[in-house]
Amino acid sequence: MNTTKQCYFCNNNVKHVDYKDVDALKKFMNPYARMLGKRKTSVCSLHQRKLAMAIKRARFMALVPFVAR
């Protein structure tokens, strides 16, 4: 019995996690603008690393806030 959730990026055949796609990035952040962990998002390790880098780049470019209140 396989009850594990599948990776969002693998299922949707996403090759590159883009830092400019703010709506997709916000799906993997909590309301306080913090990144969610791999267990909560059910994203594979490869895409979790790419996602983290994309969120950090989006923060630096001021597309996503560092801290939200």
Specify the number of domains making up the chain: 1
Q: Evaluate whether 64 touches 55 at the Cβ level (below 8 Å).
A: yes
> Is 37 among the domain residues?
yes
In tens, the pLDDT along 31-66 reads 999 999 999 999 999 999 999 999 999 999 999 999
Question: How high is the pLDDT of residue 69?
Answer: 76
pLDDT of residue 2 exceeding 60, the answer is no
Domain span holding position 49: 8-60
- Residue 38, domain member (yes or no): yes
> Model-level pTM?
0.87
Give the pLDDT confidence of 7-38 residue by residue, as tens digits: 999 999 988 999 999 999 999 999 999 999 99
Query: For residue 5, what pLDDT is reported?
Result: 72
Of residues 42, 6, 15, the one with CA closest to residue 27: 42
